[in-house]
Amino acid sequence: MTLRLRFALWVSGLLLAIMAVYGAMVYLDLARGLAASIDDSLRLGASQAAETLNLEDGVAELPSTLPESADAADLRERGLTVRILGPRGGVLEASGPYRELTISPDSLARALNGQPVFSTLADPSGGDPVRVYTLPVSENGRLLGFMQAAESLGGVRDTLARLLVSLLLGGPLLAALAGIGGYFLVARALSPIDKITRTAGRISAQDLSSRLNLPRTDDEVGRLAATFDEMLSRLDSAFQRERQFTADASHELRTPLAAMGTILSVVREQRRTSEEYEQALSDIAEESDRLRALTEDLLQLARGDLGRPNVHVPVDLSALLNDVSDAMRPLAEAKGLTLLCLAATGLIIEGDSDNLIRLFVNLLDNAIKYTVHGMVTLAAERDPAGVAVTVADTGPGISPEHLPHIFDRFYRVDTARSGRGSGLGLAIAREIVSAHGGTIGAHTNLGQGTTLVVHLPG
């Protein structure tokens, strides 16, 4: 059973239940209202007729002029029957269609107490129910008889019967129409979900290019469709990055292995001198170091991708930056560069000291590697968001088209900034900064150098 059909059945059932309750309330209210109207009419008619009685010598009589009077005409127009009963219940006078109506002994017995009584009798000729009002007539405390007013309930019964038929036919019909309308409305509302289902069935890890491309609407289904497309875009980008990462990693790992294989093949072709063997071993050791460094970088990225938690403890960033710059200064001086550390004192942050050391070693190593002459400056200061650390060099700078990609894995800029690195240093730096809840960015001027800016919460 589809969601559409279930919704239509629920709507129909709920509307039918509401119609049934509402119809019962209307029916009962109308029945009470009509009954009260009949009773009021009988009470009024009996009172009008009682005012015309002649009470002489202890006998109640209708006046001789009653049939022609305006009161009698009014009573006839209202379909009332008026009767005068003696103290023992015998009919003395009668006017109207129900003059022969059976007298209810029970009503007379209750009226003897001096209180008006309503009763419902059956018309012997037609079988219609007749409502009767019995009003005691007395003079000076002595009961002279009873005034009765009667009216047929056939009109009330017919009215209620027509209402009941209308409710019994109209309620289910309206419920069925509401169910059909609800079915098509839900079908239209859920059509994007059907499209999502079909699209999801076509998606595989090899092809995440399918999109819903539904018109954007500000409702639940529209937001679901937009979120689904955005999710597919993120998954597609993630799979593309992983494929590119796998291809690049395979290429990078293959390069030192191929180099070592080539060195061994050349050495094994013929006997070599001890100097040649030493050179070959030195070359193999260099490629092995490169392979080890690349493997460590890949493991570092893999741990970052898996969201491995880092232990964050208070770290004296000022002392850490001074220690890193002291460790990297010989590498800078070997290239004839000046390495300055301008870190403010008292910079305490929450972080992982090992990863922070790796972060700033990577940034300084990158700056030293790509700076031919001049200096590299490491600076840190407190800012409103925490701590800002900058690494500035006086190298050739980076072209604007390359700047957005320098933190991508295995991304290398043009030959002016190429080297024997793996292209993972800045990618690892970004992972470390993200793990600390910070941000990293870069700005550059061609021919004047590049500045990397790290913001860490403090």
In a domain, 33, yes or no: yes
- The answer to whether residue 206 scores a pLDDT higher than 70 is no
In a domain, 129, yes or no: yes
In a domain, 214, yes or no: no
Same domain, 327 and 415: yes
Closest alpha carbon to 148 in 112, 79, 95? 95
CA atoms in the 13 A half-sphere facing the CB of 197: 5
Query: Which of 279, 305, 331 is where one domain is finished?
Result: 305
Same domain, 351 and 327: yes
Cα(311)–Cα(353) distance, integer angstroms: 9
In a domain, 205, yes or no: no
Q: Please give the DSSP secondary-structure letter assigned to residue 411.
A: -
Q: Supply φ then ψ for residue 103, to 5 degrees.
A: -90, 130
Instruction: Please report, as a single letter, which amino acid is at residue 65.
Output: T
Same domain, 345 and 409: yes
Cα(447)–Cα(396) distance, integer angstroms: 4
Q: How confident is the model at residue 306 (pLDDT cuts 50, 70, 90)?
A: very low
Query: Which of 305, 328, 346 is where one domain is finished?
Result: 305
Neighbouring residues of 211: CB distance < 8 A, sequence distance ≥ 6? 199, 229, 232, 233
Cα(62)–Cα(6) distance, integer angstroms: 70
CATH number at residue 356: 3.30.565.10
CA-based end-to-end distance of the chain: 57
Q: Over the stretch 134-153, which tens digit does the pLDDT of each residue have?
A: 888 877 777 778 888 888 88
Helix H or strand E segment including 201: helix 154-202
Strand, coil or helix: 221: helix
Confidence at residue 438, expressed as pLDDT on a 0 to 100 scale:
92
* pLDDT (mean) for 18-27: 92
Q: Over the stretch 162-189, which tens digit does the pLDDT of each residue have?
A: 999 998 998 899 889 988 988 888 888 7
The label of the residue with tokens 């925490």 reads 386
Q: Supply φ then ψ for residue 438, to 5 degrees.
A: -110, -170
Sign of the dihedral defined by the CA atoms of residues 322, 324, 328, 332, in that order? negative
CATH number at residue 228: 1.10.287.130
* pLDDT (mean) for 206-214: 70
CATH number at residue 40: 3.30.450.20
In a domain, 88, yes or no: yes
In a domain, 169, yes or no: no
Residue 436 near residue 352 (C-beta atoms within 8 A): yes
Neighbouring residues of 161: CB distance < 8 A, sequence distance ≥ 6? none
In a domain, 408, yes or no: yes
Quote the number of domains for the chain: 3
Same domain, 286 and 358: no
Cα(49)–Cα(148) distance, integer angstroms: 9
Same domain, 9 and 153: yes
In a domain, 183, yes or no: no
- The answer to whether residue 242 scores a pLDDT higher than 90 is no
Residue 294 near residue 252 (C-beta atoms within 8 A): yes
CA 379 to chain centre: 48
Same domain, 224 and 282: yes
Range of the domain at 148: 3-158
The label of the residue with tokens 């019964």 reads 157
Cα(286)–Cα(263) distance, integer angstroms: 12
Closest alpha carbon to 390 in 335, 328, 341? 341
Q: How confident is the model at residue 360 (pLDDT cuts 50, 70, 90)?
A: very high
Query: Which of 240, 274, 305 is where one domain is finished?
Result: 305
